[in-house]
Chain A
Amino acid sequence: MENKPARQRIIHTQTLNKNRYLLSLLDEANEAGIISQLQVNHLHSQIMDILRDTILRYNAGKSSSIRTETAQQLLLSVFYCMDACCMEYASPMECLEQLQAEGAAVLYKKGLELVCSCTDSARKLLSEVKSGKIITKVQAYNDTLDYDLPEFFTGYSAIFSAHEAMCSFDYPIAHDDQAEQGVFYIWQYLKKLSMENEFCRKFTFADIESLLAGYGKTYKIHYPDYLLNIFEIILYNSVFSVIAGKSAKNIGLGYCDLQTLLRKLTGLDEKTHKCIISNAMREIQAQLNIVQPELMDYMFLSIVELCSRLRICLDNNSLDKLVIIA
């Protein structure tokens, strides 16, 4: 008789869907025979009790029924909080053990606390980001910080709509993680915007506006109305400035610099381009005295795309689209 391999009885985080963590964990655990269908049903029942309480709270205790679409949203909110707690455990197996030992209601309560705590942190972070905002004419940037993000906090409810990021803010950050949802999305957005601001504050208002005006001229747009990322435009020009032999702060490049860059960068292979850009980045960090590891990582993350864009522009003889002439 053929020996079948023993079923895998460990669940790895990578196999789970981050945006439906608990559900995928229970699916995997059930399929792997770690928890029985009876236990799954019991957990279902506990989750439905949480939903029932949430419906009552939503209706201020006056009504036990609710429109289907609202109930779906409330359930997503419950799962969002539970997922927040579940993902805090060191491993999916530990999460399962706690879920069975403490019950769904306890995990929901802990998750709700985490979401509330993140909301408080994000609110404080917004206040910091606003006080450190750069002066610019870019409308999307100003509107996002002055109106759209504050509006999020007035409408957000960790109990009824934890999974939603219920505001529309337009300003694009360099590395948005759109896989995140709810307040955790807002938090990562603000964290990154805070780093971008910190970098941009190393440059003067006049230099930034002159660079953005050059960007507008290059792409024939009225830049204050355009959805552009200020940080990335500054960073790229700072990189090219250093490569051209100027200082990191000197982002106002001219046609002479463009010719220098063409001379220095044409005909090189990809690896050499990467080395040049990477060295320039280190030089920028040294010159601008950037020592915060998170910002340093974020800057490097932001130039990953620069190398391929540089090669395309060199091939198409359009480096002037990437190097902005102020």
Chain B
Amino acid sequence: MKELTSIGSMDAVLRQTAINQILETNSESMKYGLMLTENDAMQILDSRNDALRGFGRIELGADVIQRLIFALCDSPYIVQEQYASVLCELIEAFYYMKNETLDEMGDDELVLWIKDSFNNRCNGSVELLLGGEFENTAREIRNAIYSRAFITGEDVH
């Protein structure tokens, strides 16, 4: 309680809710032969928390994880054996992209972009996604933000 203003102290309270949110996605993903165990959910949540910490971000709940799962569970490139680990990589890519695009892309827009790139241009390779495909898009978005800021005089940060 002493350090509630440090948001990290809330992890214990929110953790179980987030795990349940992740497990709820099984009802949809099972249609495509994909399922997460409670251990998988914990691993994904830990990986998400590491990514958030690494990128200096906060998220309460597991909305982004759910959105990514719902968007990508029908991907022909994801198989059960790699389901949890691919999700971890995509989640990390999501927050990396958020930062690199200066928060310009909303969650839905970014999830759709990842889905489209992952399935249609990167053949299911997260490595390719994070390579040229992503870098080019991020650069375009940043340039648009900077030129808008230059014209309007607004503070980018």
Contacts and interface: CB of A to CB of B under 8 A. Distances in A.
B103 A63 contact: yes
Contacts of B56: 67-69
B26 to A, nearest CB: 21
Contacts of B107: 62-65
A23 B63 CA distance: 28
B7 A68 contact: yes
B14 A48 contact: yes
A76 B5 contact: yes
Given A51-B60, A64-B59, A67-B57, A23 B108 contact: no
Contacts of B63: 64
Interface of A: 20, 23, 26-27, 30, 40-41, 44-45, 47-49, 51-52, 55, 59, 62-69, 71-72, 75-76, 79
B2 interface: yes
Nearest to B61: A52
Contacts of A72: 5-7
B151 interface: no
B95 interface: yes
A76 B109 CA distance: 29
The contact size tier of chain B is: 20 to 34
A26 B4 CA distance: 11
B86 interface: no
A64 B4 contact: no
A72 B58 CA distance: 9
Contacts of A47: 4
A65 B95 contact: yes
A224 to B, nearest CB: 30
B128 interface: no
Contacts of B5: 20, 23, 72, 75-76, 79
Contacts of B4: 23, 44, 47, 75
The 5 closest A-B pairs by CB, nearest first: A62-B106, A65-B59, A71-B58, A52-B60, A64-B63
A81 to B, nearest CB: 14
A66 B5 CA distance: 15
Main secondary structure of the interface of A (DSSP, over half): helix
A30 B1 CA distance: 9
Contacts of B141: none
B122 interface: no
B30 interface: no
B58 A65 contact: yes
B98 interface: yes
A27 B14 contact: no
B52 interface: yes
B61 A64 contact: yes
Nearest to A79: B5
A123 B36 CA distance: 55
B126 interface: no
Nearest to B109: A62
A66 B57 CA distance: 5
24 contacts: A23-B1, A27-B1, A44-B4, A44-B10, A45-B10, A45-B14, A45-B17, A48-B14, A49-B60, A52-B61, A55-B60, A62-B106, A62-B109, A63-B98, A64-B64, A65-B58, A65-B107, A66-B57, A66-B59, A67-B58, A68-B57, A72-B7, A75-B4, A76-B5
Nearest to B107: A63
A41 B10 CA distance: 9
A79 B6 CA distance: 12
A112 to B, nearest CB: 18
Nearest to A55: B60
Interface string B1-45: 110111100101110010000000000000000000000000000
